[in-house]
Amino acid sequence: MTNCIFCDIIAKSAPAEIIYEDDLCMVITNINPLAPLHLLVLPRNHIPSLNDISSADETLLGHLLLTAKAMAEKMGVSDHGYRLALNTGKGGGQTVFHLHIHLLGGKQMDDSLLSRGIA
Ligand code: 5GP
Ligand code: ZN
């Protein structure tokens, strides 16, 4: 066990519903879903937040987005539409400090994103 729940999930020392994994990332269901479909795309490496990303991570970031797109297709929400969110820092609503992209779908997303939260 580490002090990072997502590192523990990636190491399979903590439980999660794993939807997909490859060399660079893992996709799990959110333990507290805010939409009928709520997945989290996690890089395998521990990167605390987007603030810790550099140009060396360009390929990884592209891979995370392409994975999110592929998961939307796999889960059948591509045509209807979906939302990706990447909370950064405490003030940005981030609560788990291991970089992750939220994939939310399966309902009509509220368009007042900025005033009412991500879903
Ligand atoms: P954040 O607020 O940092 O952008 O998002 C963290 C997300 O991780 C939250 O939506 C929360 O529900 C989810 N989460 C926190 N702990 C766990 C866990 O142990 N397992 C899973 N699957 N999701 C978690
Ligand atoms: Zn971590």
C-beta separation of 93 from 113 below 8 A: no
- Catalytic residue, from 38, 98, 100, 102: name it: 100
Using one digit for the tens of pLDDT, what is the confidence trace for 10-63? Answer: 999 999 999 999 999 999 999 999 999 999 999 999 999 999 999 999 999 999
**In the numeric block, which tokens belong to residue 84?**
């990706």
Q: How far is the CA of 22 from the centre of ligand 2 (A)?
A: 16
Greatest alpha-carbon span in the chain: 39
CA of 50 relative to ligand 2 center, distance in Å:
13
Backbone angles phi, psi at 96, to 5 degrees: -115, 120
Decide: 7 in ligand 1 pocket, CB within 6 A. no
Amino acid identity of residue 24, one-letter, is L
Q: Of the bound ligands, which one is closest to the alpha carbon of residue 96?
A: 1
For the chain, domains (ranges, CATH) are: 5-51+58-97+108-115 (3.30.428.10)
Q: What is the pLDDT of residues 64-82, one digit of tens each?
A: 999 999 999 999 999 999 9
Can you say how many angstroms the Cα of residue 58 is from the centroid of all Cα atoms in its chain? Answer: 17
